[in-house]
Amino acid sequence: MPEKVIVSWSGGKDSALALQKMMEDEKYEVEGLFSTISEQSLRLPVHEVGENLLMKQAEALGLPLEIVPVPENASNKVYEKVMQRMFQDFKDRNIHKVVYADLFLEDIRAFRDALLRKNEMTGTYPLWGISSHQVADEIIEKGFQAVVTTVDTKKLDKSLPGVLYNQEFLHSLSPEVDPCGENGEFHTFVWGGPLFDAPLSIQQGKRFETWRGRFSHVEMKEK
């Protein structure tokens, strides 16, 4: 019998590819998605994707999405309590494994795994160890449609939010920038692709900055 899993969902390209790999793996049964959002902004922190669009993605993917509100600037202790309640809910549904789309950041994986162990859960990382260039090419080749929504202005030009994540974008990046933005250089929003019943109808909204101008964003909204 396939093992039940739930996918940590950022709304971006890496999450989408990780989800597809899990759905194609007969050892697993994807029960749904979950996203942590800020209680104040109702957006995914740093990515700054609104709750409503995350829900629209889930509808198009045909999967339930659990929204987990986290207080603004929550301490590690508060964050861990929120996650503990969420993990217990998963375990009550016989879900003991979480899927993450990390590629190579050892410290982030170590943090996730430690928190999971503390809550008697385990993690799986379907993209782990695959080169960023290979992952980027696979995302595009498989037909996922994504837009850059956030950039770190210390690493990329603040005008880039709103451009499509495609080969043209990848070729424009300097060698110092990871093609998947794994070091936080940029984040994306997926609006269509092989897992979607139909592409989302979205348009660009306002531009704004967070962290005192460190991150530049473009708001994505429904047409």
Check whether residue 152 and residue 51 sit in a common domain. Answer: no
Percent of the chain with pLDDT over 90: 92
Q: Is 73 a residue whose pLDDT tops 90? A: no
Check whether residue 142 and residue 88 sit in a common domain. Answer: no
Domain with 103 in it: what CATH number? 3.40.50.620
Domain with 171 in it: what CATH number? 3.90.1490.10
Q: Is 75 a residue whose pLDDT tops 90? A: no
**What are the tens digits of pLDDT across the range 34-58?**
999 999 999 998 899 999 999 999 9
Percent of the chain with pLDDT over 70: 100
Pairing of strands 215-222, 202-210: antiparallel
Check whether residue 84 and residue 145 sit in a common domain. Answer: no
Check whether residue 25 and residue 103 sit in a common domain. Answer: yes
Q: How confident is the model at residue 81 (pLDDT cuts 50, 70, 90)?
A: very high
Give the up-direction half-sphere exposure of residue 197: CA atoms within 13 A in the CB hemisphere.
Answer: 8
Check whether residue 52 and residue 144 sit in a common domain. Answer: no
Check whether residue 96 and residue 148 sit in a common domain. Answer: no
**What are the tens digits of pLDDT across the range 152-167?**
999 999 999 999 999 9
For residue 36, give its domain range: 3-124
Which of 60, 89, 124 is the last residue before a domain boundary?
124
